[in-house]
Structure 1
Amino acid sequence: MTAEVAVALPAFVLVVLLGLGALGAGARAVRMQDAAADAARALGRGDSTAVAVAAVAATSPTAGLAVDRPGELVCVTVTDRARIGVIDLPVQGRSCALTGGR
């Protein structure tokens, strides 16, 4: 092994690990968006808040849920944290649905 490879290999491994962590954070953000959509649809149908909380908890037990009802809509924001190595990033998903179940 040459000296150049010995110096470049740790940097290459670090870049690959950070890239994989970023992909994981992106996948978590997509899951948060899906959970928000499921919860918003459930609340829009007139289901209880417990159903929406269960939909979010099935995706991530540590996720937070916030509900907003502007006019004829019910909007849900789901927030969680994604870790990329030592970096802790917030991720969130937001979705709205018409309130037709009342």
Structure 2
Amino acid sequence: MWGSGHGRDAGTVTAEFAVVLPAVLLVLACCLGAVQVVSQQVRLTDAAGDAARLLARGETAGQVADLVRRSVDGARLATERRGEFVCARLSAPAAFGPYAAFGLTVAAESCALAGPAGRGPSP
């Protein structure tokens, strides 16, 4: 008696698993991609701080841009002077493919106090 009802339900677990598995894998892939983008944001923030300090020291924007590109792939540098501060804004397309396909851009900005006349800090 018990075995007769069990035979009819045997395929339902497999069918439910087959339906749920792709959704679970998609959610897992999105979560892993989000972790990768957050990691890229942290690297970009660190590189923006370094770039602002280098610019405040008197390095050229070209030299700083080369250093930034080595630390974060595809990063673009924009510099701006705000009173006594030199600011570096970095932006890069998201490192995770699907997020980049939707146009997600990761950005970070940092400012540093420039030295006298913009030639770097005083001794």
Q: TM-score, normalised by structure 1?
A: 0.90
The higher-RCO structure (CA 8 Å, 6+ apart) is: 1
CA distance in 2, matches of 1:35, 1:62: 13
Aligned residues: 102
CA contact (8 A) 1:79 1:91 kept: yes
CA distance in 2, matches of 1:82, 1:40: 22
Question: Greater CA radius of gyration, 1 or 2?
Answer: 2
CA distance in 2, matches of 1:17, 1:41: 37
Q: Report how far residue 52 of structure 1 moved.
A: 1.2
CA distance in 1, matches of 2:114, 2:47: 18
Q: TM-score, normalised by structure 2?
A: 0.76
Matched letter for residue 13 of structure 1: L
Find the partner of 1:23 among 35, 43, 55. 35
Equivalent in the alignment of 1:93? 108
Structure 1 gaps, min length 5:
none
Equivalent in the alignment of 1:62? 74
- Report the identity percentage: 43
Structure 2 gaps, min length 5:
1-12
**Regions of 4+ moved over 4 Å:** none
